[in-house]
Chain A
Amino acid sequence: MDSTLSNTCKKSYLRPPTIEEALELIENPGACILAGGTDLINMRAQGMIKVDCLVDLKHIEGISGVNRDNGATRIGPATCLDDLTSDATFPTNAVTDGAALVGGWQTRSRATIGGNICRASPGADTLCGLIVLAAKFVLISSAGQRTVDASDFFTGPGKTLLQPNEILQQIIVPERPGGSAYARFTYRNAMDLAVAGVAVFMEVRDGVCIDASVAIAACGPTPLLVADAARVLIGSAVDEAAIEAASQAVVSAAQPIDDVRGTRWHRLRVLPSLTRQVICVAHKRCIDAKSEALS
């Protein structure tokens, strides 16, 4: 290791202007990536993580902002949640629903989508949306880039496929017809963490659901994709029976625990109604998008 780099990394705050410099800096022991900081500062203050050197990614060229090209929406990981929810190129969907629910305005002004992803909380509000929208994450290290599916990325509470020498460089959300939504159950209307969350994507043609995806939050060690729920929706007219069957599939797939935010029993109890509600919103958005496209 470069000894000068190691010295600059002692008890300091660094603001690399390029991703290459950031990749070099994070190789140092004690280096920690800083994005919005809304979780990191708390975790550090509580002694949950030890940080010698903060590597602030927010000033890297192209690391923030939302762009649409080649049939995909490309989101810079340092885009703050408030900007993500107000970006005209990324109309209301399961991810923006989740982003709008995080903390208060002050938190959403700082917290980033990349931070929410890499923190990998099982109850994080944007992750199920990213999974149902079939997002891909571009990870970069000094050895090169690799792309992983959002549905594979989360491996446990706070655990992901991201290696210590890697940085999440971009989030790619493929553009496709259909509608999506996310909602969560909380005891308060705001400033709360999900007791349970559900995201649904669906595409309807001639009244029949031809594609669907369902994922749940705070009901397992990671956000969970519920393939069985999608299976019963696909081919249905999204009628009462299909919605009921999808809700039951969600309950069967959920692996909630008892914790400070809720009991397993209560989580399983709120999941069916939450699932029904989110399916209906996603369905309506899908229909509305179609009539908008026709008008």
Chain B
Amino acid sequence: MNGAREALAGDPLFAGLSGTELDLIAAAARPVRLGARERVLREGDPARGCWLIHSGCVALDLAVPGRGQVVVQTLGRGDVLGWSWLVPPYHWQFGAVTVQPTTMTELDTAQLQAVAEQDPRFGYTLTLALFGALALRLQATRARLLDLYRVPDGQP
């Protein structure tokens, strides 16, 4: 899967991985091409797979009674889509739908987990890479929680 291997090598997410480790991931990877407004994940479905986005835009959404499908986050090039395959109860907590035509690499997470069982060192490196992406997402989410752009209270 030469194209997938190249796409992975060029992704900053996997900058710390060795050639062999990239090969292992590439073996579980396949390219995905979607048009606009195509649903990638449905909230509540069993969580299988994760995606590295190369181009386009994907919206994470949630059904909120009275507000319909609320988009809580959009993702683009360089972002990882899908964490719940690692976390019990292994169901998607949010939905995901493309906003524009989008290209991604889909990873067979069941296969990757099987490899990780046999090769804990690989599992650790892969998890660390994903963890880094998650940490930045959390930092950005916390920054949004601060509501920094609001009008400050308590005036002179």
Do A and B originate from a single complex? no
Taking beta carbons and an 8 Å cutoff, which residues of B are in contact with A? none
- Residue positions of A touching B, CB distance < 8 A: none
